[in-house]
Chain A
Amino acid sequence: MPPRLELRNITKSYPGIVANDDISMSIMPGEIHAVLGENGAGKSTLMKIIYGAAQADSGEIYCDGKPIAAHTPATSRALGIEMVYQHFALFESVTVVENIALAVSNTFDLDALARQITELSNRYGMPIDPHRRVHDLSVGERQRVEIVRCLLQAPKLLILDEPTSVLTPQAVVKLFETLRQLASEGCSIVYISHKLDEVQELCDTATVLRNGKVTGTARPKQSTSLELARMMVGAELPEMHVSPSVPSEKPVLEVRGLTAPARDKYGVELKNVSFEVRGGEIVGLAGVSGNGQAELISLLSGERTHGNALSIQIDGRAAAHLNASERRKLGMAFVPEERLGRGAVPPHALWQNAVLTAHRTGLVRNGLVDRKGANSFAAKIIERFKVKANGPQASAQSLSGGNLQKFIVGREIALQPKLFLVAQPTWGVDVGAAAFIRQTLVDLSRSGAAVLVISEELDELFEICDRLLVICQGQVSPPLIRTKTNREEIGLLMTKVDRGNGTNGRGEVAVQD
């Protein structure tokens, strides 16, 4: 039997970097194959080449023994190849079903397709409403859309580029069941993830890339995650040091009785949210995506303001009515979950993206942007956070996902905030860099800053947080001390059914079995 997919000597360069260097590999029908590697190793580039969204400079691709010459995503789909992009490729201004129709069907029976989507997405534990507009969706929900789009097609080869980065643990379990089912029916799956436990659970074989080259293969089920990590990073992982926290007397962030209506009919209403974060501690906010995190974070960051100025106080000062820039003046910094388009301007160079929030640190003089200053600011972040980029002149969109994440986190930390809000800090970041970012967060808090981490990764929260909050259907639980709680308790709080006011029509968003 010929392999489902065979790559021979694929090479691809971008200005200043060889993203894929003479890569060969093959995948058999029904095989679940992991591609592992550091941020910027060239994984996404290789996937885009397989899918036809990018063209290799040289090398050949065979599908079922037949060479595929110059191809495009459309011809790939005709061959039965489907791909979930790391940064989603959805049309923002139209609805979910219209998006899927564009990729899927040649008949335009939207109602039937919508029913199919609802049915399939519920079956796979990734509920989505086919009639919502994509720009209203959170990152997690977009990811579900992408996955459901591919699954609808009954593919022969399915490429998943970090599909679980923002999925809930429950959805991941369901997804894995589905993938195994697909594989047993003969579909080959290429799976990219930085979460090694997932890879071990799911994948039969793995190819490891470093600096664009194949550096090894592994059988994940027979290796420990430490071994895999070492293969990826090429060095030992740094060890975490979490010293005990010494919280400040007064809270740096104080939220009191914050109530806010939903932004639109699909948003979540915040109900009487109260909590505080003191200097010197890390507080984690756990919860299933779509339970009000987006609303809460945009109110905390000042992207949305609130009439009751006292409901959010930063450093003892009323702040709910202030916009993001004014809150940053009070010492706030913030890393949002969307890195392209929110945390960074995609076509702008990194030095320009440094100015976005760091202009306050003397990068603007007499109303003019200090380009040299911005360049060296960006260069420092690139160096300190080991961002793989072609210098401060590289555009944000040319960076690999994890590297852009490192840059944004680095930029915000370089502002030396008193209050640091961060959503999904290690989303898409490789194991080495994730450990580094976590350590930096711990160090930042131990130097006196108040840190609020919003994450769906319980492991991460348990590793670095001092106290944990859980958000569910717009309500935030009382704080739990990390050392005195456990995953089960948190998990229960995350999925509790809202008993208070019965059904509110959005039950399906929060309750995912």
Chain B
Amino acid sequence: MAAPVIATVLTLVVGSLLFATLGYDPLVTLQAFFIAPLNSLNGLSEWLLKASPLILIACGLAVGFRANVWNIGAEGQLIVGAIAACGVGLFYPNPESPILLPLMFLAGACGGMAWAAIPAFLRARMNTNEILVTLMLTYIATLLLSWLVHGPWRDPAGFNYPQTALLSAAAMFEPFDYAYRLNASVFITVVAVFLMWLFTDRSFLGYKMSVSGAAPLAARYAGFRESSAVWIGLLAGGAAAGVAGMAEVAGPLGQLSPQISPGYGFAAIIVAFIGRLNAFGIVLGGLLMSLLFLGGEAVQMNLGLSAALTRIFQGILLFFLLAADFFIFYRLRRIPEHA
């Protein structure tokens, strides 16, 4: 538990120095960064709204990371999930049908999994590097989305903006209160966190994956297939990212446009590591990351800090967190038990 505390203290010290040297009152700035955004109901709603996809995706990714399957293309899987879900939402014959939303959920999950299945197949069959393949597929997904919203799926009544038509009400999650954007999709994340805990902590499949990650030779010794770890790891990340994409179009966005994600897929990688790849930690990590997003916007608007400065500060915090963690792990493992 020492690592996060040390990291927080270090960040506060270095951050204060940074703000002070640049002429901002550190106390005021930190207050605006971390406390002000949560002072209103709307702030809380936005906080959870942004944390939800981060946590959801990080849960999926962590399943793979634990087995040394490095899916860094969740952003692409999110986009494909969003496209698939939105496609169903736009073109399903009955736009009022109550099964529309569940269908979109399935489409999102399948879309994300399909996108992740490509690197899984290539790695399992041809031993390609999934880091490269997942990353490159992200660019393809971005271009695919761009082509769709500029071309075939563009809303004819949309004044030539690159975006699709708005989804019907039945194709969207209903907000808890129309004054705020938070909606029922957060429950998906809650369920996902529980499933992730059950899988990694209690299930035999999760156990096999952790063996694959910690000692590949032992996995082979026990006869656990490496390829199944690859498939499960990538598909879990893909499904989670795809569902997150679906929840974005069926939630706050209501339509597809070229920028549907502010980088959730990439930020979730950091969230997974801040959370040390375990479910409870990921929840905390996601909440922190979301707060950093909000706080960054808030200080830019309220105090006129530059975007670069807020990014530097965010970077410092993440850096200290991961570095402190690394050194703790390093110390734990460094005495490699020469028995």
Contact = CB atoms under 8 A, between A and B. Distances in A.
A368 B203 contact: yes
B211 A323 contact: no
Interface in A268-326: 301-303, 323-326
Given A364-B204, A368-B202, A87 B337 contact: yes
B331 interface: no
Contacts of A369: 202-204, 207
B223 A367 contact: no
Contact of A342 (B204, B210, B215): B215
Interface stretch (A333-341, A435-443, A455-463, A479-487): A333-341
A355 B204 CA distance: 9
Contacts of B335: 53-54
Contact of B218 (A48, A86, A341, A404): A341
A357 B222 contact: yes
A175 B272 CA distance: 50
B202 A303 contact: no
A204 to B, nearest CB: 25
Of the candidates B198, B210, B221, the one having the most CB atoms from chain A within 10 angstroms of its own CB is B221
A345 B204 contact: no
A43 B17 CA distance: 51
Contact of B211 (A343, A345, A401): A345
Contacts of A323: 223, 225
Contacts of A341: 215, 217-218
Contacts of B224: 325
B205 interface: yes
Contact of B221 (A54, A88, A301): A301
Contacts of A348: 210-211, 214
A351 B203 CA distance: 14
B338 A324 contact: no
A328 interface: yes
A93 to B, nearest CB: 13
Given A303-B221, A323-B225, A328-B223, A346 B204 contact: no
Chain B interface category by residue count: 20 to 34
Most chain B CB neighbours (cut-off 10 Å) among A53, A87, A345, A352 = A345
B221 A161 contact: no
Nearest to B339: A401
B336 interface: yes
B213 to A, nearest CB: 9
A84 to B, nearest CB: 10
A327 B207 CA distance: 20
A367 B224 CA distance: 15
A345 B215 contact: yes
Given A87-B339, A340-B337, A369-B207, A347 B214 contact: yes
Interface stretch (A26-34, A219-227, A255-263, A392-400): A392-400
Max chain A C-beta neighbours (<10 A), residue from B198, B204, B224, B337: B337
Contacts of A89: 336, 338
A445 B309 CA distance: 72
B217 A338 contact: yes
A80 B248 CA distance: 64
Contact of A345 (B214, B223, B333, B336): B214
A195 interface: no
B311 interface: no
Interface in A399-441: 399-401, 404
B339 A303 contact: no
Interface string B185-224: 0000000000000100011110100110011011011111
B218 A345 contact: yes
A352 B207 contact: yes
Given A54-B335, A346-B215, A359 B204 contact: yes
Given A368-B202, A368-B204, A48 B221 contact: no
Contacts of A161: 338
Contacts of A385: none
A342 B205 contact: no
Contacts of B333: 347
Nearest to B334: A53
A87 B223 contact: no
A367 B203 contact: yes
Interface string A344-380: 1111100010011101000010011100000000000
Given A345-B211, A345-B218, A356-B218, A404 B223 contact: no
A164 interface: no
Contact of B337 (A327, A343, A346, A364): A346
A86 B198 CA distance: 38
Nearest to B333: A347
A342 B221 contact: yes
Given A356-B211, A367-B203, A399 B221 contact: no
A11 interface: no
Contact of A343 (B203, B204, B207, B221): B221
B158 to A, nearest CB: 48
Interface in B92-129: none
A207 interface: no
A44 interface: yes
A397 B337 contact: yes
Given A302-B223, A323-B225, A343-B218, A86 B338 contact: yes
Contacts of A44: 338-339
A397 B215 contact: no
Nearest to A47: B338
A266 interface: no
Nearest to B214: A345
A53 B338 contact: yes
A400 B333 CA distance: 16
A62 interface: no
B222 A356 contact: yes
Interface in B214-267: 214-215, 217-218, 220-225
Contact of A404 (B204, B211, B222, B339): B339
27 contacts: A44-B338, A48-B338, A53-B335, A54-B335, A87-B336, A161-B338, A303-B220, A303-B221, A323-B223, A325-B222, A325-B224, A334-B221, A338-B217, A341-B217, A341-B218, A344-B218, A345-B215, A346-B336, A347-B333, A348-B211, A355-B204, A356-B218, A364-B204, A367-B203, A368-B202, A397-B339, A404-B339
Given A324-B223, A328-B223, A338-B217, 4 more contacts: A326-B223, A342-B218, A342-B221, A367-B203
Interface of A: 44, 48, 53-54, 85-89, 161, 301-303, 323-328, 334, 336, 338, 340-348, 352, 355-357, 359, 364, 367-369, 397-401, 404
Q: Which 9 A-B pairs have the closest CB atoms?
A: A325-B223, A324-B223, A397-B337, A85-B338, A401-B339, A345-B215, A342-B217, A364-B204, A400-B339
